[in-house]
Structure 1
Amino acid sequence: MLRFNGIPLFSSVHSLTEQLEQLHDNILERVRGIARIACALYDPDTDLLKTFINSTHQGHAIVNYEYPLSDSTSLLTMSQQRTCRVIDDIRRDIPPGNPHSDWLIDQGYTSSFTMPMFNGQNFLGFIFIDSTRSSVFTDTVQRDLMMLCNNINLTIAAEVTAVNALLATAQAARDFADLRDFETGKHLTRMAQFARLIAKGVAAQYRLSDEKIEHIHLFASLHDIGKIGIPDKILLKPARLNAQERAVMQGHVAKGVQIIEKVLKDYQVGHLADAQVMLNIVACHHEFLDGSGYPNGLTAEDIPIEARIVTVADIFDALTSERPYKTPWPVTDALIELERMVEAGKLDAECVASLRNQQAEASEIVARFRDEQL
């Protein structure tokens, strides 16, 4: 098993999807006809509900799907009022015309129960439960389901809390030190959006589930968290770093892993398989396929796919963003540079091709989350 400072970079711990499948089996012992349980996450930056995890016993799972929350009056109201929804006859009560409603009808689902998820006051998304039988969700069944669904909510909220704690730690350190590097909030948002865009584009090639894609999106913004431990005189030096300074700068990777390990331990979520995605991103996002990266000189398949995705996202953002020492590159020029790095054997070709194939979406992210003039 590949390790970083003694920390395993891969894990066989049960994923959220596997936990949901076990919960599904438990529900079926109490309620017959539950064909599907699925969770969708909400992204407030884009107003999108996105497929995340599912357990589907009957029908085909809907994957890689997103929908604006504001386009659904009923779901928007539920998110605002913290209410649940029961539909006893899907064909009668849900009008066709969008991919999700049409998909529900095609699968033969007859009734559904929907519950919003929250982390404190923050809306996280929805849990959708569908049945092939009508009028399944009686008051008694709803009470049982709400108790079980709270376990899903708490597990997802724990991960979000850990990530938010890490981001808050980084922000507090930057504020306290009056640090003015390029790790702005918009940079972190762009990183998350670019990483998800790339991951969606390579999902088929690398067999990435919606769960894996969303964790890459969630954790990408933590890639350089270790920089809060680098002295300003090095982090903000306007000139080229010397060999000793470069070694200190590269130490931010190990510092980042240490920070994440501590927060995962403090929040008691380090046992989760998804925590390994976070660690992999922080530990390996400066590695190159040809072994010329740092800190471990990993090559090719030794670099986890989530780190390869974040590496491409990070370089693309650096090229297309303004810095005190450079003007932003046009998206087309940045893509050409990434492709040059592919030819040099440094970057994952599929990840770069994903950006190229979604150039319009990438350009929209650049424009929408542009930093203020430096």
Structure 2
Amino acid sequence: MELKISDNLTLKQKLDHLNTLIQDWYPDYVGFAIAMLDNDNNLYSVYRSQGYGVKFPDFIEAIHKSSRLSTLRERRSPDIIDDMTCHLPSIKHIHQTLIRKSCLSSMATPIYNKNDEFVGIMFINARIPYFFRQNLNFFNTISLIASLFINDDLNVKRSFHNIIKTILLISHHKDPETQNHLKRVAEYSRLIALYLGKRRLCNGHFIDAVYHYADMHDIGKYMIPDEILFSTKIYTPEERQIMNEHPELGYQLILKTLKQWGGITDDNLKIILNIIRYHHERFDGEGFPLKLKGEDIPLEARIVTVADVTDALLSYRPYKKPWPVSDVINYLQDGSGKQFDPLCVEAITKNITKATLIQNKYPDHLTDEG
């Protein structure tokens, strides 16, 4: 088996190459899909080969509800269905669909990161029964290669994120509340994106990217003079104008920095830049800097807008106490369709209990002295 793949390719391109290689070697092979684990033990799809045989679900809720997936996680070895037609009364809808597409055998293998932590599952299908029993060593090797690709991708994201975290920490050293604020906004953004993902409004790659890059939304703020940035007074019109320049300042900073770095894909760079530049746009077109309206505002920015405001309302600030949860919900719902994307508001309000748990997990290290 010869596999020559450039490090400059995206994860999808590498997996596409791997899929083509398998097809060349095994005509009865159909395709594979990969799903990654989130913090709530749900799986979300990050890849599906063109010939997988059926549309792989974008979201699989709570793997503990599936005995097959739970067992796979615990025993750390592949799970094989030799002949799906022998399990017709009990198999899930997706397997029944696969049978109709002439996929008769299936193999699922766990994926682990470099710290030996379970992070996802690779699903592989074939046209004939007992296919994987006959070719087990080969497909075990394939799953290891796929795991290496995924871990390389995770490492690139981690390295990039460490660089950004360093920039953020240096920028925020005068602002003790910021670090946990950023964590909360990232977690709220993932809550919203997962909700939308369950409704097939976004895919696993998008959910993952929004989670990783949401905390960059205000990076431009730290190019604003300290006397404005950390003021506890109401801004003058001139100060407000300067403050409102931070999305464009952050956009230009990251655009110049990351284009030269080259360690991030164009898709991810676009999501980062959209979050930074457009998270102060309003759904009704009255925001800034470009007064975009409705779905002209990138979805990732609409998500972070709601996450950021949610955190501001739930958190202590020098000029305000945390709002009661009921008031936060009312404010968000009142702004639905005006300041906020209605679906993003629906997502966070339906998950407000989880949001408050996140708030408690990452509290601000400030006290209300009033």
Question: TM-score, normalization: structure 1?
Answer: 0.76
Question: 2:43 is matched with which residue: 31, 47, 50?
Answer: 50
Q: Is the 8 A contact 2:43 2:62 kept in 1?
A: yes
| Counterpart for residue 218 of structure 1 | 212
Call closer, same or farther: CA 1:267–1:366 in 2, change over 3 Å.
Answer: same
User: 2:311: which partner in 1?
Assistant: 317
Q: Which residue of 2 aligns with 1:158?
A: 156
Distance 1:319 1:138 in 2: 54
Greater C-alpha Rg: 2
1:112 aligns with 2:107: yes
* Cα contact 2:177–2:365 (8 A) shared by 1: no
Please report how far the alpha carbon of residue 313 of structure 1 lies from its aligned counterpart in structure 2 after TM superposition.
1.1
Give the secondary-structure state (helix, strand or coil) at the position aligned to 1:342.
Answer: coil
Aligned to 1:4: none
Deviation at 1:153, TM superposition (A): 3.3
Q: Is the 8 A contact 2:73 2:118 kept in 1?
A: no
Which residue does 1:179 correspond to in 2?
A: 174
- Equivalent position of 2:258 in the other structure: 264
Matches within 5 A, 1:225-304: 225-304=219-298
The 1:30–1:184 alpha-carbon spacing in structure 2 relative to 1, beyond 3 Å, is same
Query: Is 1:87 aligned to 2:79, yes or no?
Result: yes
Query: How far apart in 1 are the matches of 2:226 and 2:155?
Result: 34
Name which of 331, 338, 353 aligns with 2:346.
353
* Aligned mate of 1:191, from 174, 179, 185: 185
CA distance in 1, matches of 2:44, 2:58: 6
Instruction: Determine if contact 1:199/1:309 at 8 Å carries over to the other structure.
Output: yes
Alpha-carbon distance in 1 for matches of 2:82, 2:312? 47
Amino acid at match of 1:131: N
Shift of 1:286: 0.7
Q: Distance in 1 between matches of 2:32 and 2:348?
A: 32
Alignment of 1:25 onto 2:17? no
Corresponding residue for residue 169 of structure 1: 167
**What's 1:6 paired with?**
none
Equivalences for 1:110-149 in 2 at 5 Å? 110-112=105-107, 114=109, 116-118=111-113, 125-132=119-126, 133-147=131-145, 149=147
Q: Which amino acid aligns with 2:272?
A: M
Per mean C-alpha deviation after superposition, the further-off stretch among 193-202 and 354-363 is 354-363
Higher relative contact order (CA 8 A, sep 6+): 1
User: CA distance change for structure 1 residues 280 and 134 in 2, over 3 Å: closer, same or farther?
Assistant: same
Against the structure 1 CA distance between its residues 244 and 254, is the aligned structure 2 distance closer, same or farther, given a 3 Å change threshold? Answer: same
Which amino acid in 2 is paired with 1:358? N
| CA distance in structure 1 between the aligned counterparts of 2:63 and 2:163, rounded to whole angstroms | 27
Q: Tell whether 2:69 aligns with 1:75.
A: no
User: Structure 1 pair 88/52, CA: closer, same or farther in 2 (3 Å)?
Assistant: closer
Contact 2:105 2:132 in 1 (8 A): yes
- Asked if structure 1 preserves the Cα contact closer than 8 Å seen for 2:169 and 2:179, the reply is no
Structure 2: distance between partners of 1:136 and 1:262: 52
Residues 17 and 211 in structure 1, CA contact (< 8 A), matched pair in contact too: no
Letter in 2 for 1:167: K
Measured after TM superposition, the shift of residue 258 of structure 1 is 3.1
Equivalent-residue separation in structure 1 for 2:289 and 2:16 (angstroms): 38
Identify which range, 294-303 or 320-329, moves more after superposition. 294-303
Over 3 Å counting, the alpha-carbon distance change for 1:126 and 1:252 in structure 2 is same
Q: Show structure 1 runs of 5+ residues with no match.
A: 1-13, 79-84, 93-98
Distance in 1 (CA, whole Å) between partners of 2:42 and 2:197 is: 18
1:184 counterpart SS class: helix
Worse-superposed segment, 264-273 or 109-118: 109-118
- Structure 1 residues 129 and 157: CA distance shift in structure 2, 3 A: farther
**Counterparts of 1:204 and 1:77 in 2: how far apart (Å)?**
28
Q: In the alignment, what sits opposite 1:64?
A: 59
Identity of aligned residues (%): 27
The amino acid of 2:163's aligned partner reads: A
- 1:48 is paired with a residue of what secondary structure? coil
Equivalent AA in structure 1 for residue 46 of structure 2: I
Task: List structure 1 runs of 4+ shifted beyond 6 angstroms.
Answer: none
Per-residue Cα deviation, 1:280-310 (whole angstroms, up to 9, x for no partner): 1111001112332222222223211111111
Gaps of 5+ in 2: 1-8, 85-89
| SS of residue in 2 equivalent to 1:130 | strand
Contact 1:88–1:136 (Cα < 8 Å) also in 2: no
1:111, 1:136 within 8 Å by CA — same for their partners in 2? no
Aligned partner of residue 178 in structure 2, secondary structure: coil
For residues 218-253 of structure 1, the C-alpha deviation after alignment (integer angstroms, 9 at most, x for no partner) is 221211122232332221111112233223322321
